[in-house]
């Protein structure tokens, strides 16, 4: 006959608690760890510093190498084109809204002739036309292999805070450089322009702005000063300044990169895998004014409505820049008339 030995009550309860913990507690703890880990690390732990930024992809050496590549490909001097000839340039044409234009110029880059000029060397605020220099430095970084169109760029807090015309970048997002440049060229996105500049400056926007000013000097832009990469103005109230003459020099150099005109002549495109539509900010392109394929509009209260225009008709290219209009309609009407006049010369 066997004897039955019961465990003390406290021991039985202890073992039951352990069994309950093993059956339910550990799986619940594991799931809790997964959930906590997701919130902490799925979009990046704020307490964990971002990876070290790349070395700056801008600077005098990068620009020099890009110029050498352009010269080799085209057989033309890339860094400093021949000066424009102002002799014989008209100063008053009697075109619609001409009196509303504060500064402007129209040139034939092939003959180096200035066809029309109005205060062409006066330095004025240039708003988003500043992005032409941002795009140029990006194209030079691409040409020298420092970056590629597929280079991933994580949105920074600083870029997220940039206002004005934008594509509402979020620090949780990462985009290829090519996608960001598309929003700069077509939508004139300030946040994208800042992010591109910050990245190419090795994480330091001041490095990029210095490169903008250095590049302006090598291009012969004598009346130009940059304070930011987008044209809104810096936190001290300084606004990018340039002249119509300087901006056609910049435009002439910039459009030697085929991808620039491809983007600037695009009427509509999309961003974020089709979730956001991009409408070209240049009405001369959007409304299909004959031959107009770029280049960059701008507006702030300080600059008024302005544009740098590129146009090709019958194999002949003209480049112009106008600033200071009260409305975009006034600016566009004058530019249409100015181009028609220019091609009649």
Active site residues: 128, 131, 188
Q: Which residue has the tokens 């809204």?
A: 97
- Distance in angstroms (rounded) separating the CA atoms of residues 193 and 156: 12
User: Rounded distance, CA 7 to CA 115, Å?
Assistant: 107
**Phi and psi at residue 176, to the nearest 5°:** -70, 150
Enclosing H/E stretch for 284 = helix 283-286
**What CA–CA distance (Å, rounded) separates 54 from 111?**
42
Q: Please, are residues 270 and 276 in contact by the beta-carbon 8 Å criterion?
A: yes
Do the beta carbons of residue 125 and residue 240 sit within 8 Å?
Answer: yes
Helix axes 131-143 and 205-218, enclosed angle (nearest 10): 90
69: exposed, middle or buried (Cβ count in 10 Å: 0-12, 13-18, 19+):
middle
CB 111 within 8 A of CB 310: no
Q: In this structure, are residues 86 and 305 in contact, taking their beta carbons and an 8 Å threshold? A: no
Q: How far is 234 from 240, CA to CA, in rounded Å?
A: 9
Residue 65, CA distances (Å) to 132, 144, 187 in order? 19, 7, 29
125, with CB counted inside 10 A (0-12, 13-18, 19+), is buried
> Nearest CA to 205 among 47, 56, 41?
56
CA distances for 325 relative to 23, 192, 232, 241, 242, angstroms = 75, 26, 17, 16, 16
């Amino acid at each position: 006959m066997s004897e039955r030995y019961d465990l003390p009550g406290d021991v039985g309860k202890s073992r039951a608690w352990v069994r309950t913990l093993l059956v339910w507690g550990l799986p619940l703890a594991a799931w809790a760890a997964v959930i906590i880990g997701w919130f902490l690390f799925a979009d990046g732990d704020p307490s964990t510093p971002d990876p070290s930024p790349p070395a700056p992809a801008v600077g005098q050496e990068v620009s020099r190498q890009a110029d050498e590549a352009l010269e080799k490909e085209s057989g033309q001097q890339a860094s400093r084109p021949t000066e424009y000839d102002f002799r014989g340039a008209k100063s008053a044409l009697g075109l619609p809204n001409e009196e509303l234009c504060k500064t402007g110029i129209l040139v034939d880059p092939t003959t180096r002739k200035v066809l029309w000029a109005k205060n062409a060397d006066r330095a004025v605020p240039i708003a988003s036309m500043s992005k032409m220099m941002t795009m140029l430095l990006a194209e030079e970084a691409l040409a020298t292999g420092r970056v590629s169109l597929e280079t991933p760029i994580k949105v920074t807090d600083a870029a997220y805070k940039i206002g004005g015309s934008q594509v509402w970048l979020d620090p949780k997002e990462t985009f290829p450089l090519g996608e960001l440049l598309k929003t700069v060229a077509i939508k004139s996105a300030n946040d994208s322009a800042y992010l591109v500049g910050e990245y190419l400056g090795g994480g330091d926007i001041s490095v990029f702005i210095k490169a903008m000013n250095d590049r302006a000097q090598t291009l012969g832009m004598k009346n130009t000063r940059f304070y930011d990469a987008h044209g809104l103005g810096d936190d001290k109230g300084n606004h990018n300044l340039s002249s119509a003459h300087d901006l056609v020099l910049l435009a002439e150099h910039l459009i030697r990169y085929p991808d620039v005109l491809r983007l600037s002549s695009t009427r509509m495109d999309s961003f974020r895998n089709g979730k956001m539509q991009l409408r070209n900010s240049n009405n001369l392109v959007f409304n299909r004014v004959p031959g107009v394929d770029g280049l960059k509009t701008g507006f702030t209260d300080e600059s008024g409505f302005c544009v740098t225009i590129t146009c090709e008709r019958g194999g002949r290219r003209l480049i112009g820049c106008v600033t200071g209009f009260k409305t975009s309609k006034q600016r566009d009407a004058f530019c249409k008339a100015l181009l028609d006049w220019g091609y009649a010369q």
